[in-house]
Structure 1
Amino acid sequence: MAQTTGLFFNDPGASHGYTLFSPNTSNTTYLIDKDAHVVNEWTSDYAPGLLGYLMPDGSLLRASAPHGQGGNGSIQAAGAGGLLERFDWNGTKTWEFAYDSATHLSHHDLEVMPNGNILLIAWELKSEAEATQAGRDPNLPGPGFLYPDHIIEVQPDYVNGG
């Protein structure tokens, strides 16, 4: 029987660092060493939102998708998130911030700034009329709506959101 899990190849020239990943089919984020040994894991109540960052204090900042990775019902697109979660090293959730409504939804990535604030990319739902008013060519085919990107800056309070 062919091997289906685990470490398949370990190049001697591989980096001696760690790899942080969240499988799309799991609510768990893993930190592994170069030999594929699990160093730590954090489990969320939600599917991953396609990214996670190991913070300098050892905590995990993770995007999550409470409605699944396909969207929230109003905004339907691959890569959807809607929720940021922070877990301490021991796996306790210490903070969350939702950016998820009928008109906006965070997606794909974020950037932690040197001052601790977080830049978050998000979609905003615009009707066909709103998109046309903003300059979209009404003669182009389309689904009747548009999801333009915008960026918000979140100042986390690490208690109730940001």
Structure 2
Amino acid sequence: YLVDMHGDVVHTWRMPYRPGLYGYLLDDGHLFYSGKVMEDLGRFEAWARFKAGAALEVDWNGKTVWEIKHPDHHHDARKLRNGNVVLLCLRPLPPELHARVKGGLPGTEVRGTIYADYLIEVTTRGEIVWEWRSWEHLDFATEIVTLQDHREEWTHGNTVAEWPDGNLVVSFRNISTVAIVDRRTGAIPWKLGGPPLAQQHDPRPLPNGNLLIFDNGPHRRDHPAPYSRVIEVDPRTSAIVWEYHDQSLFDFFSPYISGAQRLPNGNTLICEGCDGRIFEVTRDGEVVWEYVSPYFFQEPGRPGLNNWVFRAFRCTPDEIERARRA
């Protein structure tokens, strides 16, 4: 949906697939989104919730410009500046590495299998031109699964984005780690692990060279209470240079999904995903705009209804006009 500042729907894209978590506008005005392919949903219980399987570019009317599919694709994908697409993917960890995975609840592997993330760069014709495997570059000794999580996944990636120099920034929720991946060598020149992070989402590069991160906050190792916050991190020093959290910690808490966007006016748009709440705050933390999604749905395998929003973006009038003409 495209929703105006009053909460009214002004445009709806009709898709060939149900959304696989989220989409965003490209510079040319087309919509890029991950679609959920309703096949192979039984790898493990949570897989059906975050699997995608298709990445597409569509015009204002929902007409497909191109489409690529991959059975391992989940959570996130981005169109790169070179015109290719990077997909976040998941497959079984080589069995000989299982014993090196630390943390998590003992005995919670899925049929003796632990899954881990990998990245592929794909042309819009579906040709794989680059691959990166997390288990070849992350450190098993320090990248430890949160003790309360199942061992069906080691890393649980939830975001991949392009850094200004062409490298990639990736978020791994289960090990509370954000890492920059060198696309040329595969090495990790920088990473930030928890604490200070706790099962974060949506690390987003900023024009000043910093990273904006939604730090979800369940199972914090450095604080007894679970709470969410949005932090701006300087990768040169790994210092937190700005932070937003609610004055009452428990009033702002989204243990899953969620994200944040720095706006042109210097404010920050925050998606508190588990409550379907999207709000704008100033640098001083004042809430100046708020929207709560009225769209509730039944998630398979879970009781009741929810209005979760995985991620949200504020679009400028120029971006909307460009999308209309595209």
1:132-151 correspondence runs (5 A): 133-137=96-100, 140-141=106-107, 142-143=109-110, 144-151=112-119
What residue in structure 1 maps to residue 138 of structure 2? none
Matched, 1:73 2:57: no
Match of 2:88 in 1: 121
* Cα root mean square deviation, aligned: 2.5
One-letter code aligned to 1:49: G
Q: Name the structure 2 match of 1:96.
A: 67
Q: Deviations over 1:34-86 (max 9, x none)?
A: 12233322112322111201111211111011217xx5334651311111122
In structure 2, how many angstroms separate the alpha carbons of the residues matched to 1:83 and 1:58?
Answer: 20
Structure 1: gaps spanning 5 or more residues: 1-29
Task: Kindly indicate whether the alpha-carbon contact (under 8 Å) linking 2:26 and 2:32 is maintained by their aligned counterparts in 1.
Answer: yes
Deviation at 1:137, TM superposition (A): 4.7
Q: 1: CA distance between counterparts of 2:20 and 2:100?
A: 32
Query: Relative CO higher for 1 or 2, CA cutoff 8 Å, sep ≥ 6?
Result: 1
What is the identity percentage for the equivalent residue pairs of Structure 1 and Structure 2?
A: 32
**Distance of 2:78 and 2:52 partners within structure 1:** 15
Residue 42 of structure 1 corresponds to 13
| Match for residue 86 of structure 1 among 24, 38, 57 | 57
Kept after mapping to 2: 8 A contact 1:75/1:125: no
Higher helix share: 2
Q: Is the 8 A contact 2:98 2:114 kept in 1?
A: no
TM-score (norm 1): 0.63
Q: Give deviations 1:109-131, integer Å, cap 9, x for gaps.
A: 122222122211110134xxx32
Deviation >4 Å, runs of 4+: none
Instruction: Report the TM-score when normalising by structure 2.
Output: 0.33
Deviations, residues 95-121 of structure 1 (Å, cap 9, x unaligned):
110011xxxx11111222221222111
Equivalents in 2 of 1:109, 1:47: separation in Å?
A: 15
